[in-house]
Amino acid sequence: SYRSRSAFKLLEIDKNWGRFLSRNEICAVVDLGAAPGGWSQVVAEKLGWINPAISTVGRGVIVAVDLLHIAPIPGVHTLQMDFLSSQAAGAVKNALSAPENPSGMADIILSDMAANFSGNRVRDVEMSLDICHSVFQFAKDNLHVAAAASAGTKKQRGGTLLLKHFEHPLSREFREKYLDPNFNSVNYIKPSASRTGSAEGYWLCRGWKGLQSH
Ligand code: SAM
Protein backbone atom coordinates (compact mmCIF):
# COMPACT_ATOMS: atom_id res chain seq x y z
CA SER A 1 0.00 0.00 0.00
CA TYR A 2 1.12 3.54 -0.69
CA ARG A 3 1.98 6.17 1.86
CA SER A 4 0.10 8.92 0.10
CA ARG A 5 -2.75 9.54 -2.29
CA SER A 6 -0.22 11.34 -4.46
CA ALA A 7 1.07 7.92 -5.52
CA PHE A 8 -2.13 7.41 -7.52
CA LYS A 9 -1.60 10.74 -9.27
CA LEU A 10 1.82 9.63 -10.44
CA LEU A 11 0.52 6.22 -11.55
CA GLU A 12 -2.27 7.93 -13.48
CA ILE A 13 0.10 10.39 -15.16
CA ASP A 14 2.50 7.59 -16.11
CA LYS A 15 -0.33 5.48 -17.54
CA ASN A 16 -1.82 8.34 -19.58
CA TRP A 17 1.47 9.69 -20.87
CA GLY A 18 3.31 6.84 -22.49
CA ARG A 19 4.57 5.08 -19.39
CA PHE A 20 7.65 7.22 -19.19
CA LEU A 21 8.51 5.67 -15.81
CA SER A 22 8.55 2.16 -17.15
CA ARG A 23 11.21 2.19 -19.83
CA ASN A 24 14.16 -0.14 -19.54
CA GLU A 25 16.83 2.44 -20.11
CA ILE A 26 15.81 4.40 -17.03
CA CYS A 27 18.45 4.12 -14.38
CA ALA A 28 18.36 7.33 -12.36
CA VAL A 29 15.34 9.11 -10.92
CA VAL A 30 15.24 12.14 -8.62
CA ASP A 31 12.10 12.71 -6.53
CA LEU A 32 11.90 16.21 -5.04
CA GLY A 33 9.47 16.99 -2.23
CA ALA A 34 9.14 13.27 -1.73
CA ALA A 35 7.73 12.89 1.81
CA PRO A 36 5.99 10.80 2.94
CA GLY A 37 7.20 8.76 -0.03
CA GLY A 38 4.31 7.71 -2.27
CA TRP A 39 5.99 8.74 -5.53
CA SER A 40 9.26 7.14 -4.46
CA GLN A 41 7.39 3.91 -3.74
CA VAL A 42 5.92 3.98 -7.25
CA VAL A 43 9.35 4.57 -8.79
CA ALA A 44 10.97 1.88 -6.65
CA GLU A 45 8.33 -0.56 -7.90
CA LYS A 46 8.92 0.41 -11.51
CA LEU A 47 12.66 -0.17 -11.13
CA GLY A 48 12.07 -3.53 -9.50
CA TRP A 49 13.08 -2.68 -5.94
CA ILE A 50 9.71 -3.51 -4.46
CA ASN A 51 8.29 -6.79 -5.58
CA PRO A 52 6.41 -8.92 -3.12
CA ALA A 53 6.40 -11.92 -5.45
CA ILE A 54 10.11 -12.45 -5.80
CA SER A 55 12.84 -11.04 -3.69
CA THR A 56 14.99 -9.36 -6.22
CA VAL A 57 17.36 -6.49 -6.50
CA GLY A 58 16.19 -3.52 -8.48
CA ARG A 59 18.16 -1.47 -10.91
CA GLY A 60 19.33 2.08 -10.97
CA VAL A 61 19.43 4.87 -8.46
CA ILE A 62 16.52 6.72 -6.86
CA VAL A 63 17.21 9.87 -4.87
CA ALA A 64 14.41 11.37 -2.77
CA VAL A 65 14.63 14.80 -1.12
CA ASP A 66 12.38 16.47 1.42
CA LEU A 67 12.47 18.89 4.31
CA LEU A 68 10.74 16.13 6.25
CA HIS A 69 12.07 12.73 7.18
CA ILE A 70 11.18 9.92 4.78
CA ALA A 71 10.97 6.45 6.28
CA PRO A 72 13.19 3.96 4.39
CA ILE A 73 12.03 2.55 1.03
CA PRO A 74 14.02 -0.23 -0.68
CA GLY A 75 16.27 1.19 -3.40
CA VAL A 76 15.65 4.81 -2.42
CA HIS A 77 18.44 7.07 -1.19
CA THR A 78 16.77 9.72 0.99
CA LEU A 79 18.12 13.19 1.76
CA GLN A 80 16.46 15.35 4.39
CA MET A 81 17.17 18.93 3.38
CA ASP A 82 15.78 22.11 1.91
CA PHE A 83 16.08 21.73 -1.85
CA LEU A 84 16.26 25.52 -2.15
CA SER A 85 19.40 25.62 -0.01
CA SER A 86 22.79 26.06 -1.65
CA GLN A 87 24.05 22.60 -0.65
CA ALA A 88 21.13 20.67 -2.09
CA ALA A 89 22.17 20.34 -5.74
CA GLY A 90 25.62 19.06 -4.77
CA ALA A 91 24.18 16.52 -2.35
CA VAL A 92 21.75 15.14 -4.94
CA LYS A 93 24.46 15.08 -7.62
CA ASN A 94 26.65 13.15 -5.24
CA ALA A 95 23.93 10.59 -4.60
CA LEU A 96 23.38 10.22 -8.36
CA SER A 97 27.04 9.38 -8.90
CA ALA A 98 26.69 5.73 -8.00
CA PRO A 99 28.20 2.70 -9.80
CA GLU A 100 24.67 1.74 -10.95
CA ASN A 101 24.45 5.04 -12.80
CA PRO A 102 27.66 5.46 -14.81
CA SER A 103 26.66 8.77 -16.41
CA GLY A 104 25.87 10.38 -13.04
CA MET A 105 22.97 12.14 -14.79
CA ALA A 106 19.24 11.85 -14.04
CA ASP A 107 16.90 10.23 -16.56
CA ILE A 108 13.83 11.54 -14.76
CA ILE A 109 13.34 14.42 -12.34
CA LEU A 110 10.03 14.55 -10.51
CA SER A 111 9.02 17.51 -8.39
CA ASP A 112 5.89 17.44 -6.28
CA MET A 113 7.38 20.12 -4.01
CA ALA A 114 4.95 22.66 -2.66
CA ALA A 115 5.41 25.12 0.16
CA ASN A 116 2.70 25.39 2.79
CA PHE A 117 -0.06 27.71 1.69
CA SER A 118 0.31 31.19 3.16
CA GLY A 119 -3.22 32.11 2.14
CA ASN A 120 -1.79 35.07 0.25
CA ARG A 121 -2.16 34.20 -3.41
CA VAL A 122 0.70 36.39 -4.62
CA ARG A 123 3.04 34.96 -2.00
CA ASP A 124 1.96 31.40 -2.85
CA VAL A 125 2.63 31.94 -6.53
CA GLU A 126 6.04 33.44 -5.74
CA MET A 127 7.00 30.47 -3.61
CA SER A 128 5.86 28.07 -6.30
CA LEU A 129 7.94 29.96 -8.87
CA ASP A 130 11.01 29.88 -6.60
CA ILE A 131 10.65 26.12 -6.50
CA CYS A 132 10.20 25.90 -10.29
CA HIS A 133 13.32 28.01 -10.90
CA SER A 134 15.38 25.96 -8.54
CA VAL A 135 14.22 22.66 -10.06
CA PHE A 136 14.91 23.97 -13.55
CA GLN A 137 18.40 25.05 -12.50
CA PHE A 138 19.05 21.55 -11.22
CA ALA A 139 17.59 19.94 -14.35
CA LYS A 140 19.75 22.15 -16.55
CA ASP A 141 22.88 20.71 -14.95
CA ASN A 142 21.79 17.14 -14.26
CA LEU A 143 19.17 15.98 -16.72
CA HIS A 144 20.46 13.62 -19.30
CA VAL A 145 20.65 15.23 -22.74
CA ALA A 146 19.43 13.61 -25.95
CA ALA A 147 22.26 12.10 -27.95
CA ALA A 148 22.43 10.94 -31.55
CA ALA A 149 23.54 7.38 -32.17
CA SER A 150 27.24 7.02 -32.81
CA ALA A 151 29.54 4.03 -33.25
CA GLY A 152 28.68 1.51 -30.56
CA THR A 153 26.04 3.63 -28.87
CA LYS A 154 22.30 3.75 -29.24
CA LYS A 155 20.35 6.93 -29.83
CA GLN A 156 19.24 8.28 -26.48
CA ARG A 157 16.23 10.40 -25.85
CA GLY A 158 16.59 13.36 -23.56
CA GLY A 159 15.46 13.19 -19.96
CA THR A 160 12.02 13.88 -18.51
CA LEU A 161 10.93 16.47 -15.96
CA LEU A 162 7.57 16.38 -14.16
CA LEU A 163 7.08 19.67 -12.36
CA LYS A 164 4.29 20.75 -10.05
CA HIS A 165 3.29 24.41 -10.25
CA PHE A 166 0.46 26.84 -9.59
CA GLU A 167 -1.60 28.11 -12.46
CA HIS A 168 -0.93 31.78 -12.89
CA PRO A 169 0.16 34.11 -15.72
CA LEU A 170 3.66 34.21 -14.20
CA SER A 171 3.81 30.43 -14.29
CA ARG A 172 2.87 30.52 -17.96
CA GLU A 173 5.75 32.94 -18.55
CA PHE A 174 8.11 30.58 -16.77
CA ARG A 175 6.97 27.72 -18.96
CA GLU A 176 7.36 29.72 -22.18
CA LYS A 177 10.79 30.97 -21.25
CA TYR A 178 12.41 27.92 -19.70
CA LEU A 179 10.50 24.78 -20.58
CA ASP A 180 9.07 25.11 -24.09
CA PRO A 181 12.39 25.93 -25.83
CA ASN A 182 14.46 23.25 -24.12
CA PHE A 183 12.30 20.14 -24.26
CA ASN A 184 10.86 18.30 -27.26
CA SER A 185 7.42 18.50 -25.69
CA VAL A 186 5.76 20.12 -22.69
CA ASN A 187 2.27 19.09 -21.63
CA TYR A 188 0.05 20.56 -18.97
CA ILE A 189 -1.52 17.93 -16.76
CA LYS A 190 -4.28 18.28 -14.23
CA PRO A 191 -4.53 14.85 -12.65
CA SER A 192 -8.04 13.76 -11.77
CA ALA A 193 -6.77 12.62 -8.37
CA SER A 194 -5.93 16.22 -7.47
CA ARG A 195 -8.54 18.20 -5.61
CA THR A 196 -10.93 20.04 -7.88
CA GLY A 197 -10.68 23.77 -7.61
CA SER A 198 -7.05 23.69 -6.51
CA ALA A 199 -4.79 25.72 -8.75
CA GLU A 200 -2.14 23.04 -8.87
CA GLY A 201 -1.09 21.33 -12.02
CA TYR A 202 1.94 19.61 -13.49
CA TRP A 203 4.06 20.11 -16.54
CA LEU A 204 5.33 16.95 -18.12
CA CYS A 205 8.43 17.94 -20.07
CA ARG A 206 9.91 15.27 -22.27
CA GLY A 207 13.06 15.09 -24.33
CA TRP A 208 15.51 17.49 -22.69
CA LYS A 209 17.56 18.98 -25.51
CA GLY A 210 20.12 20.72 -23.32
CA LEU A 211 19.89 24.46 -22.84
CA GLN A 212 19.14 26.07 -26.21
CA SER A 213 20.86 29.37 -26.83
CA HIS A 214 18.66 32.09 -28.25
N1 SAM B 1 4.99 13.22 -3.73
C2 SAM B 1 4.85 13.03 -2.28
C3 SAM B 1 4.30 11.65 -2.05
O4 SAM B 1 3.91 10.98 -3.01
O5 SAM B 1 4.29 11.19 -0.90
C6 SAM B 1 3.99 14.11 -1.66
C7 SAM B 1 4.66 15.46 -1.67
S8 SAM B 1 3.86 16.76 -0.78
C9 SAM B 1 2.53 17.17 -1.85
C10 SAM B 1 4.96 18.11 -0.97
C11 SAM B 1 6.27 17.99 -0.20
O12 SAM B 1 7.17 19.02 -0.62
C13 SAM B 1 6.13 18.13 1.31
O14 SAM B 1 6.52 16.92 1.93
C15 SAM B 1 7.11 19.27 1.66
O16 SAM B 1 7.82 19.04 2.86
C17 SAM B 1 8.05 19.26 0.47
N18 SAM B 1 8.78 20.51 0.26
C19 SAM B 1 8.27 21.75 0.14
N20 SAM B 1 9.25 22.65 0.00
C21 SAM B 1 10.43 21.95 0.01
C22 SAM B 1 11.79 22.33 -0.08
N23 SAM B 1 12.15 23.60 -0.21
N24 SAM B 1 12.73 21.35 -0.03
C25 SAM B 1 12.36 20.06 0.13
N26 SAM B 1 11.08 19.65 0.22
C27 SAM B 1 10.13 20.58 0.18
Domains and CATH numbers, the chain: 6-208 (3.40.50.150)
Q: Relative to the CA of 42, which ligand 1 atom is closest? A: 4
Residue 7 in contact with ligand 1 by CB distance below 6 A: yes
Q: Relative to the CA of 38, which ligand 1 atom is closest? A: 4
Q: Is the pLDDT of residue 194 over 70?
A: no
ipTM over 0.85: yes
Question: What is the predicted pLDDT for the residue at 146?
Answer: 87
- How much is the mean pLDDT over the chain? 92
Q: Is the pLDDT of residue 55 over 60?
A: no
Place 54 in a pLDDT band, splitting at 50, 70 and 90.
low
d(Cα 157, Cα 134) in Å, to the nearest integer? 23
Question: What is the predicted pLDDT for the residue at 196?
Answer: 55
pTM summary value: 0.94
Q: Which residue has the higher pLDDT, 50 or 8?
A: 8
Residue 107 in contact with ligand 1 by CB distance below 6 A: no
Instruction: Say whether 15 is catalytic.
Output: no
pLDDT tens sequence across 17-40: 999 998 888 889 999 999 999 999
